[in-house]
Structure 1
């Protein structure tokens, strides 16, 4: 481990078993953090912790379904028990749902997308903030999306959920600023992950079409989103709270 952006900090990452979450675990550990990884897939978490500790990092994991408040509490408690405090959290766990017109969308898809993407962040925020307050504060980053800033077609529940994540971010930032807790969000554009790779495989030409809508004309790598989150969690931006940082190759700037 050879950097110090997060040196000495204890950081929780949800949705850490793949994609942006797994990339964040690696980036945060490389930047000097002790990481606590939370997700539902224990085998992947265990393998990632083994990988990180083999490189000299401090890492633990907690099996966690963020829609369960008890699981969210246990993930935070894992960090506090192991390291004595919680300095930062990246609330990354989320699902995309179906790409279906609104009038054809099922109630089950709506419920799942809202439950994971909104209630999951809500559950985590409550327990993370409670753990940070006795130690003078901390920093939290919620993973929204460009869909939290603009509409995208055939994804109404996802758009609604990611707008709600931004609302929670701003509300929490305002409420806890004087108590030393900073709360920000990242809004990724199209980012390479298991979900996006599956979309691209099932829809030949989709990646080219999506990239053409982005000024940088490419798909982001998950490490690029993780790097932005690491900066927001660090002490390099102490006066930054309640903001939403697009990491989207210029998509929402058009």
Structure 2
């Protein structure tokens, strides 16, 4: 680590739980973030600022005017551009040393099979159950930890799954593989502060998993309620009959 890097990351290095060894783990880590919307806009800049050396950003969507209420990496000049491409530009202006890959394609099993074998953590910032199940299946198959979250109206959820652990549940243990009706922000609304609260929590879980400090929320569901600023936790158990991880 050179002198400029020591200065840039000094506030992390001063923390005993991170120190120089932890910061170097971040620099050598590769993280795939799927979804560059509200949660992604909150989570990804924190990961980049913390010094994750390799980031893969996946989103096939383009920027719309309604995104600007909560997706602060974008400006009106970016409307109709790829969210993943714009986020790469935004981050590399702030830290040109990072290796950031833009994947402006709809996520598929083939894409996940291509990227996941090299990843340390996957972050699910998507907004529909079919994609979440696809990501979950790939993470179980490739034994990659998954940090999953959702946000709608004034409520958010955060879950961490780690297929490397025998007792860790997976997303399909909680939400069976069946047709589900997704609630969308476009129809139901979402509080802008909520996505940043939940996205920041996702970033924190990623850093903890990579460095190995604190207690990652594996096997837990954390519920965020912004109307009364409350959080609730539930312990999750593995389903022995789960068709994905059972």
Instruction: Compute the TM-score of the two structures, normalised by the length of structure 2.
Output: 0.55
Q: Report if aligned partners of 2:124, 2:146 keep a CA contact under 8 Å in 1.
A: yes
Give the 3 Å change call, closer, same or farther, for CA 129–55 of structure 1 in structure 2: farther
> What displacement does 1:127 show?
2.4
Q: Secondary structure at the match of 1:40?
A: coil
Where do residues 70-219 of structure 1 align in structure 2 (5 Å cutoff)? Answer: 70-74=110-114, 76=115, 85-94=118-127, 117-131=128-142, 133=143, 138-145=144-151, 173=162, 176-178=164-166
Q: Does 1:37 align with 2:57?
A: yes
Distance 1:64 1:120 in 2: 13
- List runs of 5+ in structure 2 lacking aligned partners: 1-7, 13-17, 62-80, 172-183, 233-246
Number of residue pairs matched by the alignment: 172
Give the 3 Å change call, closer, same or farther, for CA 220–197 of structure 1 in structure 2: farther
> What displacement does 1:40 show?
0.6
Q: Report if aligned partners of 1:139, 1:183 keep a CA contact under 8 Å in 2.
A: no
- CA RMSD across the alignment: 3.9
> What displacement does 1:90 show?
1.1
- 1:13-33: per-residue Cα shift (whole Å, max 9, x none)? 1111x2111221111111121
Q: Report if aligned partners of 2:123, 2:146 keep a CA contact under 8 Å in 1.
A: yes
Pick from 44, 47, 58 the counterpart of residue 86 of structure 2.
47
- 1:143-184: per-residue Cα shift (whole Å, max 9, x none)? 13479x99xxxxxxxxxxx8xxx8xx68x55x64149x8979
Q: Report if aligned partners of 2:136, 2:170 keep a CA contact under 8 Å in 1.
A: no
Q: Report if aligned partners of 2:44, 2:203 keep a CA contact under 8 Å in 1.
A: no
Distance 2:51 2:223 in 1: 25
Instruction: Compute the TM-score of the two structures, normalised by the length of structure 1.
Output: 0.53
Q: Secondary structure at the match of 1:177?
A: coil
Q: Report if aligned partners of 1:14, 1:93 keep a CA contact under 8 Å in 2.
A: yes
Q: Secondary structure at the match of 2:214?
A: coil
